[in-house]
Structure 1
Amino acid sequence: MSKNNRGKALWKMPSHGRGTCPVCKTTRIKLLYTRNKSDGTQLKVCKRCINASQDRVNGAQKVV
């Protein structure tokens, strides 16, 4: 049977969960994963950057 509720939470997010990844600078990509910087701030990153090194995450700046 089909799954009617798959991805429904994305439609309630601003821009449907899409934006620019602060680590790899890819545009129009889903930002669904949270990474913590060393100073305690949180960043939303893409699927490819969830496993990025902590140095790359610390060097990233939040994209507005």
Structure 2
Amino acid sequence: MAKTKRGRPLWNLPSRGRGTCPVCSATRIKLLYPRAKTDGTQHKVCKRCVNAPQVKVDTITG
């Protein structure tokens, strides 16, 4: 049987949770994982960048 509940919370997010990753600049990718810069600001990043080194995360502007 089909799993109708899978991914349902993404429907409530703007653009279904997709955007441009601030770390790797990948476009139209799901931004689901929060990462914090050293100054405390939170940014959502893609699955590939959730394990990126903190130095790359700190280069996020904005």
Which residue is 2:20 aligned to? 20
Deviation at 1:59, TM superposition (A): 0.5
Give the unaligned 5+ runs of structure 1: none
- Equivalenced residue count is 62
**RMSD value, Cα:** 0.8
Aligned-pair identity (%) = 63
For 2:43, give the aligned amino acid.
L
Q: Distance in 1 between matches of 2:2 and 2:61?
A: 40
Q: Which runs of 4+ in 1 moved over 3 A?
A: none
Deviation at 1:31, TM superposition (A): 0.1
Which residue is 1:57 aligned to? 57
TM-score (norm 1): 0.92
Which residue is 1:30 aligned to? 30
For 1:3, give the aligned amino acid.
K
Give the unaligned 5+ runs of structure 2: none
TM-score (norm 2): 0.94
